[in-house]
Structure 1
Amino acid sequence: MKFFAKPTEVTKIEADVLAVFAWQGKTAEEVVLSDEAKKVDQALDGELAEALASETFEAKQGKTFILHTHGKIPFKRVLLVGVGDLKKLTMAGWQTISASLGRRAKAGAAKRVAVALPNDILDTFSTQSAAQGLVEGITLGTYVFNRHKSQETQKKEKIIEEVSVLTAAGKLDAAATGIRQGEVVSEAVSFSRDLVNEPPSVTTPTHLGEVAKTLAKHQPMVSCEVFGKKDMETLGMGGILGIAQGSDEEPKFIKLSYKGGGRKTIALVGKGVTFDTGGLSLKPSAG
């Protein structure tokens, strides 16, 4: 999936789906269209507003509504996405909304999607943050793990190929920066999910150690050292060695060293457990 920042020309963009937004008004039932959604409605001679009224659409967070344009404007379908209460919108909520957008577009077999960032959202978040959250929501919301499925099944998987993030010309650079950051985060999260979704017969301690070494090679400020069983015995890591006695796989201990100078850094450290029997019970079901 590729993301691009483009100027906002909602009635001229060529795509399978154009996503616009709406939020709740003074009441939960009132639907307030974004400026971009209003432009689309005007180009469709009011068909969007009419359809929403007949379907009693509520602009709750993550709710979606699809309308076919029947050739009146370049894109094939309008995807209206609910934001909920705009005043209470958080970044986590924005990512959830973006995930709903991505899943609905993917379910409709859209290959090219355009998303018009509304000015009201950009008043809540910066353009850069909004673009990053959008990329993360769409990418991670449509994530699938199909590595062990047949080639035929993988070919049938619906894939969004391109997402155009539409914003004002003066905000394109900020949007592009947010897109790049979102892509980096999404790639890292998806990679971690792939490791977790592999069976423990694949993601063994040895395999995880090799993955860590490979990642460190591409990061000039990170070095990696993987300790084996003998190293761990020398270091007195009795707790890990004791647990590892329950497996035929040799235990590994991964040490990643980050040398980023004097910059403030947040490090997220995981246990790296590849197989956990802590939740298994040997008691009979009746007990």
Structure 2
Amino acid sequence: MDYRSTVAEGPALSQVNADALLLVLTSDQAVTGDAVLDKLIKDAVAADDFALKAGRALYIHRPAGVKAARLVLLAAADAKPKSYKAAVVKGLAQVKELGAAHVAVASGKGLALSADHAKALALGVADATYVYRHTKPSASKAGALKKVTVVSTQADAAAVKAGLAQGQAVAEGVALGRELGNLPGNYCTPTHLGNEAKRLSREFKHIKAEVLDRRAIEKLGMGSFLSVSNGSAQPPRFIILRYQGAAASQAPVVLVGKGITFDTGGISIKPGAGMDEMKFDMGGAASVLGTFRAVAELKPKINLVGLIPTCENMPSGSSTKPGDVVTSMSGQTIEVLNTDAEGRLILCDALTYAERFKPAAVVDIATLTGACVVALGNVHSGLFSADEQLAGALLEAGQQSLDTAWRMPLDEEYGESLKSNFADLGNVGGREGGAITAAVFLSKFTKAYRWAHLDIAGSAWKSGGAKGGTGRPVGLLTQFILNQAAAGKDAIAPQLAKTAKAQGKATAGKTARKVAGKTARKAPARKAAAKA
């Protein structure tokens, strides 16, 4: 999509040159300063053809005095980016089948545009015009819409231009995530995800990609990860992505994405109904790749690492069985009570591997539990973290990007159900609080750094008539990375360092020694993993 911005105010609005003009209005000030457009609005409201209520739209064909052949009046709930985006998407639906190749979007005086408005528009347009074609030759080869121009005042022009650039980059990342999710499982294999990572590294010089095969994974001691892949003919892959936008000395943010390219449940096999949607179980991996795609375009001054453990979970004579005990890279043993709780088994080894980067923070992203879908539906991703600052930063990024998360509890008491008579811990607890116990399981492998977990089982794809990947949470993750880069190298430094700086050097040394002593007493398993 070709995104442009232009300045037009007052009488110039009705003379904007486009195939269709979408005019977004708010109830508090439904005027534009253009006499032609204002009369059309007034007449439409008087005739009850249009009302200034959220979701209302009116299509007018070849209106007198308007240069665009198609005009759509749109009512937004308010002047917020979310409402603006919803109105634009509604307007696109009005002209989608009419052959408009160039759509201009203008707004009334009550709606001053910011960078967030422009970014929201770009994401809304990309979502509304996305068509999956990879394995569907009957799909149209190209949509009619080619160009979108945002019309703003001179005062808003710079912000709109910046927002469009950012929105377009994020939209490209979201589109990559959607496309990978939508590919059938016989196309999107672990090998395909590895090849996609390599393709990104060829396209963008700031991205480096390394793809490890089974032998290399075995050498790392990732017994938990490999136990999930045992029943599949598809070889597993461990993908390591690096983006360096800051000094090598700056601690990176690490994103860890679950990459189960198809999940039958293994020996604990799932019901057949709806199992086709288990091709979306690599949504976490897709979001990491999509975020790297967006970050490579935007080039923020930050270091970023992506880790993707990817394999299939299939039943066969060589599959891991319920009751089997596996040894993770951390040295902790795990009793596999349910082979359909496989995501945490591949993530735990990747989370242990993340230690070697001495990260500023680690965020894992996974279509992890049906329990999270029951709790939150498909509106919010589930956010779990014991770190107040990190959780707050992710929640804020979600609000800014309109890719929201909701914070869930992570109390230690939930871990009681993970106790095992035959291993350090079991891979599942009871039915109650399943999303929380899954997060608590992962927390056992994250003691060395600041960590957050995003359960995207409800947000990574849609079912029903709109079945398909959403590309979430690429928007949230990219905004989080941009925010941290803007805040500078200390934005997500360890909490200890921030506390110490405030208290003074003497207190810093005392606190550091105390924490180091506690860590040393608790970390024999982590030391063994680091040596591996």
Aligned position for 1:235: 220
Q: 1:254 aligns with which of 228, 239, 256?
A: 239
Between the aligned partners of 2:256 and 2:200, the Cα distance in structure 1 is: 15
Between the aligned partners of 2:103 and 2:206, the Cα distance in structure 1 is: 37
Counterpart AA for 1:206: T
Between the aligned partners of 2:202 and 2:147, the Cα distance in structure 1 is: 30
Q: 1:168 aligns with which of 148, 153, 160?
A: 153
Q: Does 1:85 align with 2:78?
A: yes
- Would the aligned equivalents of 2:75 and 2:87 in 1 still touch at CA under 8 Å? yes
Q: Does 1:67 align with 2:56?
A: no
Aligned position for 1:146: 133
- Would the aligned equivalents of 1:10 and 1:40 in 2 still touch at CA under 8 Å? no
- Would the aligned equivalents of 1:5 and 1:175 in 2 still touch at CA under 8 Å? yes
Aligned position for 1:41: 37
SS in 2 for 1:120: coil
Between the aligned partners of 1:104 and 1:80, the Cα distance in structure 2 is: 10
Q: Counterparts of 1:64-213 in structure 2 under 5 Å?
A: 64-86=57-79, 89=80, 91-122=81-112, 126=114, 128-150=115-137, 153-155=139-141, 158-213=143-198
Cα gap change, 1:234 to 1:267, in 2 (>3 Å): closer
- Would the aligned equivalents of 2:100 and 2:145 in 1 still touch at CA under 8 Å? yes
Give CA-to-partner distance per residue, 1:122-165, whole Å, 9 cap, x none: 2xx62x222222111112222111233336x414x642111111
SS in 1 for 2:26: strand
Q: Which shifted more, 191-200 or 261-270? A: 261-270
- What TM-score do you get using the length of structure 1 for normalisation? 0.81
- Would the aligned equivalents of 2:207 and 2:241 in 1 still touch at CA under 8 Å? yes
Give CA-to-partner distance per residue, 1:157-179, whole Å, 9 cap, x none: 64211111111235433322221
- Would the aligned equivalents of 2:209 and 2:239 in 1 still touch at CA under 8 Å? yes
- Would the aligned equivalents of 1:99 and 1:139 in 2 still touch at CA under 8 Å? no
SS in 1 for 2:192: helix
Between the aligned partners of 2:253 and 2:54, the Cα distance in structure 1 is: 31
Cα gap change, 1:107 to 1:266, in 2 (>3 Å): farther
Between the aligned partners of 1:166 and 1:100, the Cα distance in structure 2 is: 18
Aligned position for 1:29: none
Q: Does 1:244 align with 2:229?
A: yes
SS in 2 for 1:85: coil
Aligned position for 1:270: 257
- Would the aligned equivalents of 2:14 and 2:37 in 1 still touch at CA under 8 Å? no
Please identify the structure whose Cα radius of gyration is greater.
2
Between the aligned partners of 1:119 and 1:260, the Cα distance in structure 2 is: 40
Counterpart AA for 1:154: S
Counterpart AA for 2:140: Q
SS in 2 for 1:107: coil
Between the aligned partners of 1:195 and 1:98, the Cα distance in structure 2 is: 26
- Would the aligned equivalents of 2:15 and 2:66 in 1 still touch at CA under 8 Å? yes
Counterpart AA for 1:162: K
Cα gap change, 1:33 to 1:268, in 2 (>3 Å): farther
Q: Does 1:19 align with 2:22?
A: yes
The alpha-carbon deviation at position 193 of structure 1 amounts to 0.6
SS in 2 for 1:213: helix
The alpha-carbon deviation at position 208 of structure 1 amounts to 0.6
Cα gap change, 1:109 to 1:60, in 2 (>3 Å): farther
Cα gap change, 1:74 to 1:181, in 2 (>3 Å): same
SS in 2 for 1:80: strand
Counterpart AA for 1:16: D
Q: Which runs of 5+ in 1 are unaligned?
A: 26-31
- Would the aligned equivalents of 1:112 and 1:163 in 2 still touch at CA under 8 Å? yes
Cα gap change, 1:198 to 1:282, in 2 (>3 Å): closer
Q: 1:280 aligns with which of 270, 283, 286?
A: 270
SS in 2 for 1:248: coil
State the Cα RMSD in Å. 2.7
Q: Which runs of 5+ in 2 are unaligned?
A: 274-532
The alpha-carbon deviation at position 282 of structure 1 amounts to 6.4
Q: Percent identity?
A: 29
SS in 2 for 1:33: coil
Between the aligned partners of 1:173 and 1:96, the Cα distance in structure 2 is: 23
SS in 1 for 2:262: coil
The alpha-carbon deviation at position 72 of structure 1 amounts to 3.0
- Would the aligned equivalents of 2:26 and 2:110 in 1 still touch at CA under 8 Å? no
Between the aligned partners of 1:161 and 1:39, the Cα distance in structure 2 is: 30
Aligned position for 2:399: none
